[in-house]
Amino acid sequence: MPRWEVSVTDALTIVVEATTAKAHYFYDLGAAALSEPDQARRLVSELRDLTGSQWPQVEVIIDAAEEPGECLLEQCHTARVRAWRYGEPPPEPAEPTEPTAPAEVPAPNASAPRSATAPRPEPEDGPWPQPPQGVRRRSLQGGGIARLLERVNLFSVAIVAVVLLVVGVSWWSTRQSLEPAPVRTVAEPEQSSSSPPPSDSAGEETSTSAEAPREIVVERGPVRVRTPEGFEISDRGDSSFQLNGADPELRILISFDEVYSVSAAAVIAEIESMVAVDETLRTEAAVFRRHGQPAQTSYVEEPGDGSVVRWTAWVEQGTLISVGCHSRHQPSHAHTASCRMAVDSLEHRDNTTGDGEKLF
């Protein structure tokens, strides 16, 4: 019988299909809301939509505090679904009876979404601030991670879901074509033949200035980062950004993901567990390190097209920050230097109005 796991926290509710590890997020149905019978019936109605033709022949495990847990359990039993609380023994299966029509669950409020894939409208009020792009549910498909989820409790599902989102963004980024960004060239003024030759001291100063590489500060949305001259930034959506420079063999990937109240050490531990079971990922000694961040990790991704992505990830002020140095072939010293500069200087800003670049 298909099994579903419902984990209720103060901030949100996570519904996971145990066999596939596919997760669905309900940001407006936290513990306080599910303590009310109407909202509990609404979540059961959403669960019915997710299970489709399997309903009500499913099993539901509820991990929640006393009041919302009992309220959900009562609504599941009303809908003739076999359900029990996490940590308690499952009830005996019901004796087979004549087929009957499944119990109707009262329709949810007109403002509630009717489908697990429809965008959820923002609540009019609530104790939690809304994300910049609006509250939404994300479906995350686990691969090798599904086996890992079988060995952790429901609380760990939230942590693994965050990690899966990061890997999903990085995998999606590596499948895009490695097109170089437009390179802007500045023509140097021609020296007049009648101009007198510069003095020795002026020549030394000019030589020193020419040898020093120019750097720029690139800004867009929440990103502020220092790079060698010629880099430009593009917004790939879903809090993911890409830096391209004059070298068509390199691009730098940057992504941000909120971790809410999950500790930095727990998030990094889950990333390292995921790397251990994914065939396209492998651990590597840190090439780039973010100074002042004790909880960070580094790994290498090989998408299978001959390219290599060297990832560095750390948690800073409640946000998982990932920087990927994506080389079309083997990384060069120039690639390493550019990526190290980006990792060292990256700033995640609250102000998202910046959209341009300027000389450093």
Residue that is written with structure tokens 């894939």 in the block = 117
CATH C-level class of 3-89+113-139: alpha beta
How much is the pLDDT for 106? 53
CATH number (3.40.1000.10, 3.40.50.11540, 1.10.510.10, 3.90.1150.10) of 215-359 reads: 3.40.1000.10
CA 50 to chain centre: 23
CB-based contact 162:273 (threshold 8 Å): no
How much is the pLDDT for 158? 58
The H-assigned helical ranges of 109-248 are: 145-149, 154-174, 200-211
Secondary structure class of 243 (helix, strand, coil): strand
Per-residue model confidence as pLDDT tens digits over 261-298 = 899 999 999 999 888 888 889 888 777 788 877 788 99
Q: Could you say which residues of the chain have pLDDT below 70? A: 94-163, 166-213, 351-360
Residues 242, 118, 145: CA angle, nearest 5 degrees? 60
How much is the pLDDT for 92? 77
- Say how many residues make up the chain: 360
38-56: string of b/e by CB count within 10 Å (b at 16+)?
ebbbbbbbbbbbbbeeebb
How much is the pLDDT for 89? 84
How much is the pLDDT for 279? 86
How much is the pLDDT for 141? 35
Task: Output DSSP code: residue 140.
Answer: B
How far apart (Å, rounded) are the C-alpha atoms in residues 192 and 342? 40
For 142, the token pair is: 């686990």
Per-residue model confidence as pLDDT tens digits over 110-130 = 444 444 444 444 444 443 333
* Domain locations along the chain: 3-89+113-139, 215-359
CB-based contact 125:103 (threshold 8 Å): no
314-340: string of b/e by CB count within 10 Å (b at 16+)?
bbbeebbbbbbbbbbeebeeebbebbb
Which DSSP helix (H) or strand (E) runs through 309? strand 308-316
